[in-house]
Copies of this chain bind each other. A is one copy, B any other.
Amino acid sequence: MKPTFDAKPWPRNAWYVACTPDELTDKPFARKICGEPMVFYRGADGRVSALEDFCPHRGAPLSLGFVRGGDLVCGYHGLAVGCTGRAASMPGQRVDNFPAIRAFPVLERYGFIWVWPGDPERADPAELHPLPWAESDQWAYGGGLFHIACDYRLMIDNLMDLTHETYVHASSIGQKEIDEAPVATRVEAGEVITSRMMDKVEAPPFWRMALRGAGLPDDQLVDRWQICRFSLPSHVMIEVGVALEGQGGYEADASVKASSIVVDFITPETETSHWYFWGMARQFAVDDAAITDSIRQGQAQIFGEDLAMLEQQQRNLLRCPDRRLLKLNIDAGGVRSRLMIERAIAQENVAPAPLQAAAG
């Protein structure tokens, strides 16, 4: 069954990372997510709400207004909107019949604010991607945010094929053995998993730093692994690490390895731009804030290299829209992830939300 409307290239009924708590001050906060201009704010009870960033009175952005008693007040003529999207009050006006604006389901958990851009009736907190490390004191986390001018799926391709590290990140985490080691890609329990094992290699600079952070020698051969896990709508968790050579690699005891999870939440903004929430969760030196900073700086530099490449790739692809690209074995992770996305979109379009829900 063919959709009768313009399908956007992302699933709508899913939890996306919208922002981090530190981005939300006492002022309303504007961000476009999945093509929807949204405004986020904390109400009187501290809960975050997300509304369409459009005052139903004269179309001013509500994000230019202010929060008063849990309502978002338009900064133009004072119309106040409640967290359901219905007008709450306006000086000298009866607002009962004012049209409501859209309200988007929001969750705050795991150190992130999550938003559901699609049908509110279907929003289910149980569908939130579990992040056990985020609620464990055995783990430390640090991260950042980039705005990247490319289709969010190019970022998924990028992360699901780490061959590029050899070239894009030659001076930090790249090494020749990466593009020489074969990858294996499989789909399992709703995840696309691409693994690469590199035994008896020299640790590149980033990992030497991590080994030192974990109290291990940084000048020995290591067994290195990369296990990239894609899940809907656009999350990529990458288990990465090195173990001292011959101790079991990925399966080695925690005392002889430095490992972590590269955390990637990739939130579409428009068809050709996205918000990239990147970070690293680690199980070593969890109380050492200096290492958190050091890793954050390292990642910022590395993902900055990706940003430059991806934005140029996007411009090249826009220039040549009819050009077909190759799909090699190293691309299988991205290809299967895109397939999973396409199926999710198709399913949303086949079974549209019932009318009363759509009006919500």
Residues in A lying within 8 Å of B, measured CB to CB: 37, 53-54, 56-61, 64-65, 73-78, 90-93, 98-99, 157, 161, 163-164, 166-168, 179-180, 182, 308-309, 312-313, 315-317, 319-320, 323, 325-326, 328-331
Contacts and interface: CB of A to CB of B under 8 A. Distances in A.
Q: State the oligomeric state as a number of copies.
A: 3
Contacts of A161: 77
5 contacts: A57-B328, A64-B312, A65-B167, A92-B180, A92-B182
Contacts of A319: 37
Q: Which 7 A-B pairs have the closest CB atoms?
A: A91-B179, A60-B313, A59-B317, A57-B326, A77-B163, A59-B316, A61-B312
Contact of A91 (B59, B65, B78, B180): B180
A86 B346 CA distance: 37
Name the prevailing secondary structure of the A interface residues: loop
B78 A179 contact: yes
B166 A60 contact: no
A79 to B, nearest CB: 9
Given A92-B182, A180-B92, A77 B330 contact: yes
Contacts of A312: 60-61, 64
Contacts of A313: 58-61, 76
A191 to B, nearest CB: 23
B78 A163 contact: yes
B166 A78 contact: yes
A163 B161 CA distance: 57
A28 B99 CA distance: 51
A202 B118 CA distance: 48
Nearest to A57: B326
A162 to B, nearest CB: 10
Given A54-B323, A99-B326, 16 more contacts: A54-B316, A56-B326, A57-B326, A57-B328, A58-B157, A59-B320, A61-B316, A64-B308, A75-B167, A75-B309, A76-B167, A77-B179, A91-B166, A91-B179, A92-B329, A93-B329
